[in-house]
Amino acid sequence: MEAKSDIRFTRKLIERLAKAYNVVVLTGAGISAASGIPTFRGKDGLWNKFNPQELASVDAFMRNPELVWEWYNWRRQLIRDVQPNLGHYALVDMEAYFPEFYIITQNVDNLHQLAGSRNVIELHGNIMRNKCFDCGKPYAGEIRLEKKEIPRCPECGGLIRPDVVWFGEFLPEEAIRKAQEVSTAAEVFFSIGTSSTVEPAASLPYLAKGNGAYLVEINPEETPLSSVADETLRYPADQVLPLLVIALERIRGRAKKN
């Protein structure tokens, strides 16, 4: 999708970006919408009879790990069939303009990394990775269910599970600590495509603004953050971010970091 020509950035934002050293971006499902990732209730209705909380939880995995893995393998295949969009690639370009640039994402779809972003903090894990249910050790093998057997950890014998945060689980401590750390230091903070209702991610923009960051929301819909943001852009990320990269080229030139 081409970026709209009527999108305008305020002089204040341009001035802050022109001198910023540290920029932080928080992303939610909205940034991946243009990639065409189907929602849980896809048009084929394959999983319509299930509630996500009945599949994405420890209790569900303990009751029926094969069913949970069937769902996650289905979701993985859907994601493998899509590509990063202009919003993801624009964030890769933005990273080159600032000495410190971090993406904090609530998404598990791996599209930021696939696009080429390097400093990605994953709050909810990554659907393309596996780990041991018991000891947490990463597991690199594929999960094939032809024999209806879930692989077990070679270290402790625990069942292998997707490396994502399920309902009722705590977020990774290191990811939260790092996200709070970089948010506190941000000079400009972007909240992109997130409902701003899921904690603890929803608190990060407020943490940044409370420490002096210029807060920008990019979201077609109004959210609880809208009234607090210094600037709101009511367009999809794949329309706004490519234009922002063009603006950065003008104000910061090609003096990019390696």
What's the pLDDT score for residue 1? 43
Same domain, 30 and 44: no
CATH of the domain at 177: 3.40.50.1220
Same domain, 46 and 118: no
Same domain, 147 and 238: no
Task: Compute the CA torsion angle 209, 213, 214, 220 (nearest 10 deg).
Answer: -60
3 within domain boundaries:
no
Same domain, 140 and 241: no
Residue 25 has pLDDT above 90, yes or no: yes
pLDDT tens digits for range 229-239: 999 999 999 99
pLDDT-derived band of residue 46, with 50, 70 and 90 as boundaries? very low
pLDDT tens digits for range 105-160: 999 999 999 999 999 999 999 999 999 999 999 998 778 776 678 899 999 999 99
What's the pLDDT score for residue 55? 87
What's the pLDDT score for residue 41? 46
Q: Is 124 a catalytic residue?
A: yes
Same domain, 136 and 240: no
91 within domain boundaries:
yes
Which phi and psi angles does 234 have, rounded to 5°? -90, 55
What's the pLDDT score for residue 153? 94
CA separation, residue 190 to residues 43, 97, 103, 164 (Å): 32, 15, 9, 24
Residue, of 42 and 243, whose pLDDT is higher: 243
177 within domain boundaries:
yes
Q: What is the 3-state secondary structure (H, E, C) of 172-187?
A: CHHHHHHHHHHHHHCC
The catalytic position among 75, 88, 124, 209 is 124
25 within domain boundaries:
yes
What's this model's pTM, rounded to 2 decimal places? 0.89
Task: Using a pLDDT cut of 90, give the percent of the chain over it.
Answer: 71
- Overall size of the chain counted in residues: 258
CA separation, residue 1 to residues 86, 110, 238, 239 (Å): 8, 21, 7, 7
CATH of the domain at 141: 3.30.1600.10
Same domain, 96 and 76: no
Mean pLDDT value across residues 79-92: 95
Number of domains the chain contains: 2
Residue, of 170 and 49, whose pLDDT is higher: 170
Q: Is 138 exposed, middle or buried (0-12, 13-18, 19+ CB in 10 A)?
A: exposed
What's the pLDDT score for residue 49? 63
Which DSSP symbol is given to 198?
A: S
What's the pLDDT score for residue 38? 64
What's the pLDDT score for residue 154? 92
Same domain, 107 and 46: no
Mean pLDDT value across the chain? 89
pLDDT-derived band of residue 86, with 50, 70 and 90 as boundaries? very high
pLDDT tens digits for range 177-203: 999 999 999 999 999 999 888 888 999
Same domain, 209 and 139: no
Question: Strand, coil or helix: what is 227?
Answer: coil
Which domain range does residue 143 map to? Answer: 38-81+129-164
At how many degrees (to 10) do helices 11-19 and 237-252 cross? 60
Same domain, 175 and 59: no
Same domain, 116 and 46: no
Same domain, 45 and 158: yes
What's the pLDDT score for residue 196? 84
What's the pLDDT score for residue 47? 55
Residue 65 has pLDDT above 80, yes or no: yes
Same domain, 159 and 176: no
Distance separating alpha carbons of residues 113 and 99, to the nearest angstrom? 19
